[in-house]
Structure 1
Amino acid sequence: MLAWLSTTPLEWRKKIRYVAIDMSTTYRAAVRIGLPHATVVADHFHVVQLANKMLSMVRRRTTAEIRGRRGRASDPEWKARRRLLRNREDLTDDQFAAMWNALLGEGTIGQTLLTAWIAKENLRNLLALARTGADRHQVGHAPWKFLTWSADSDIPEVRQLAAPVDRWWPEIEAFIDTGHHNARSEGINRVIKLVARAAFGFRNAENQRLRTRCVTTRRARGHLRTAQL
């Protein structure tokens, strides 16, 4: 990344005010060296992705420790695995009640999962403050609520999630203040991978560049009409 930045015009680099990245310390260090005047913003998608991975890890570990085996389709925690990863607002009241009651009645496994799920939702509520005009008290209270719940949960995976959130708080706060993210570049990267996979890889770099450019600029170029015979 630094090598690429060194080849770009200085005037162009000076115009960059914000850089939205995933939670990579390597990228963050490169941005701070190559663009010292720019504000680093943590992309919220990757923050939530960490929380969802944490939930899956808690589910697998508790099932293995308590049941002594991998999860099965008949296990309540296995049945609830997809709803645990969905946003609370995307669940109907009946869906939420079914998930909550089933896990609550399952004992240690369910209660541990619900504790981890609450930590995930606290983190999402923190990120949801972006572009809402929240005052400094709200912005300061939200991470305190998440970090306190994580520390009191006594769940290793939840505490491991809290550590990078605490370290990356300045960048997460920058997202709350600005609302900037890199969803568009992530979407373009996904399309490029799909094109390469459909072509079973490329041996010609120029051909790959042209094909990916054609796909990713289709909306900007508008609908291509076929010739009328």
Structure 2
Amino acid sequence: MWNALINAGTLGMTLLTAWIAKERLRDLLATARTSADRSHIGHLRWKFLTWCADSDIPEVRQLATTIDRWWAEIEAFIHTGHSNAKSEGINRVIKLVARAAHGFRNPTNQRLRTRCVTTRRARGHLRTA
């Protein structure tokens, strides 16, 4: 894969640089729930940020800026293993329901409909025979 991208010219090198940045970020996030020490996490973060800073791809640099801006939250995830993914998923479902209904006429109906959609039974986890 590497040789094919290198031989593809400028576009191939751009893809390879972005792919390596993604892999460095995955290495950093893979330390979640592994009880890795701070120096190891700091080293992986440094490798990711320097790789992105040395690249001349604006999207990769923007990714590094975003990771750096959100580092406190990312570090909390790495150390605790907890994220807000469940609440974000539920919020997404609520927004989809609101869009499908084209607005609600009263708050009671809105609460009832969103509660029905976000229960475990509605999502298919507790299917009864």
Q: Deviations along 1:189-209, whole A, 9 cap, x unmatched?
A: 121122223333322221111
User: In the alignment, residue 160 of structure 1 is paired with which amino acid?
Assistant: Q
Q: Work out whether 1:119 is the aligned partner of 2:21.
A: yes
Provide the aligned C-alpha RMSD in A: 2.4
In 2, the alpha carbon distance for the partners of 1:203 and 1:224 equals 33
Per-residue deviation, 1:130: 0.6
Q: Under a length normalisation based on structure 1, what TM-score does the superposition of the two structures give? A: 0.49
Label 1:198 to 1:170 Cα distance change in 2 as closer, same or farther (>3 A). Answer: closer
Question: Structure 2 unaligned runs (5+)?
Answer: none
Question: Structure 1 residue 152 and structure 2 residue 71: aligned?
Answer: no
Cα distance in 2, alignment partners of residues 199 and 224 from structure 1: 28
1:218: how far off?
A: 3.4
Measured in 1, the distance between the counterparts of 2:5 and 2:103 equals 45
Shift of 1:140: 1.4
Alpha-carbon shift at residue 157 of structure 1 (Å): 2.5
Change (3 A) 1:151 1:218: closer
Look up the equivalent residue of 1:142 and give its one-letter code. Answer: L
Greater shift in the superposed pair: 140-149 or 155-164: 155-164
Q: 1:218 to 1:147 in 2, by over 3 A?
A: closer
In the alignment, residue 26 of structure 2 is paired with which amino acid? Answer: R
Establish whether residue 192 from structure 1 lines up as the match of residue 104 from structure 2.
Answer: no
Which residue pairs with 2:66 in the alignment?
164
In the alignment, structure 1 segments of 5+ residues that lack a partner are 1-96
Partner SS for 2:121: helix
Structure 1: distance between partners of 2:117 and 2:111: 10
Q: 1:189 to 1:222 in 2, by over 3 A?
A: same
Aligned length: 127
* Alignment partners' CA distance in 1, 2:121 and 2:42: 40
TM-score (norm 2): 0.82
Of 132, 135, 142 in structure 1, the residue corresponding to residue 34 of structure 2 is 132
Aligned equivalent of 1:215: 117
Give the corresponding residue for 2:79: 177
